[in-house]
Amino acid sequence: MSIFIDGRTRLLVQGITGRDGSFHTRQMAEYGTRVVAGVTPGKGGQTFDAGAVRVPIFNTVADAAEATGANVSVIYVPPLFAADAMMEAAEAGIPLVVCITEGVPVLDMTRVYPFIRDHGARLIGPNCPGLITPGVCKVGIIPGRICTPGSVGLVSRSGTLTYEVVNQLTRVGLGQTTCVGIGGDPINGTNFIDCLAAFEADPATTAVVMIGEIGGTDEQDAARFVAERMTKPVIGFIAGRTAPPGRRMGHAGAIISGSTGTAAEKVQAMTDAGIPVADRPADVVPLLRERLDASVRR
């Protein structure tokens, strides 16, 4: 099984004719994702050549959803238009919206987040690599070739570290159920707890890797959730341990304020919750194997 996307996913691409949208639409279609529609205002009635399929283009998400039954949207539009694109997808009844766009203003997200929630949709992102259920469906920019089907779930704030850890898991034969990049902006649609809860409920997932970074308190909240609610092993890693105090490193959300949001605070919270924390990305696989072996012995 998987979380959020599977073989029933019918994908709509907002910004399908742009540089990034067109490139990644072909990548997603080649992976096997059912890309059923694209949206570019003013280009309705045209089609997009995605290789094995020609994708119809619509002027609005509402038109595309009504005509094709799309149930997931992925957004590749410039930051200036990303907020409107996310809200348009939710208003059209799309239950899962994935925004790849980076640089979306935080003020825009203060409007988008409650709008998405009030319309009963789930948002992943913005500023994220999306998600992939290996061998089944890919929504976003995670390279399909580094993933393999298996029983390990992965959730990460860092796109690059998602790729690094997934590749290491695959190389030692530890396949994945779903890999989710939630993004590192201060306001995003889906957090660690949302993904951890979904992995806990997924019978095919036997363990979870959680990759955090400095800034905010999401990892501390997730650690409490693991301690109180999860029965499956969780392995952690925190990026940014060497970041200078008060400095933003990488993502807009990676800001340390006083003692809040430091790597040390997050590592301590996770350790207290019984989550083994790797010192380096290369240590994730050995820690995961130890925890899986321990679970089997019990």
Place of tokens 């889906």: 190
Q: How far apart are CA 264 and CA 94, in angstroms?
A: 39
Identify the sign of the CA torsion 92, 94, 99, 103: positive
Catalytic residue, from 157, 251, 266, 291: name it: 251
Q: Are the C-beta atoms of 194 and 231 separated by less than 8 Å? A: no
Q: Is 251 in the active site? A: yes
- The helix-helix angle for 79-91 and 106-118 (nearest 10°) equals 10
Q: Which residue in 68, 117, 76, 66 sits closest to 95, CA to CA? A: 117
Q: Record the tokens describing residue 229, joined without a space.
A: 């609610």
- DSSP letter, residue 131: E
Contacts of 118 (CB under 8 A, 6+ apart): none
Q: Record the tokens describing residue 115, joined without a space.
A: 């709008």
Q: How far apart are CA 125 and CA 57, in angstroms?
A: 24
Q: How far apart are CA 167 and CA 143, in angstroms?
A: 10
Active site residues: 251
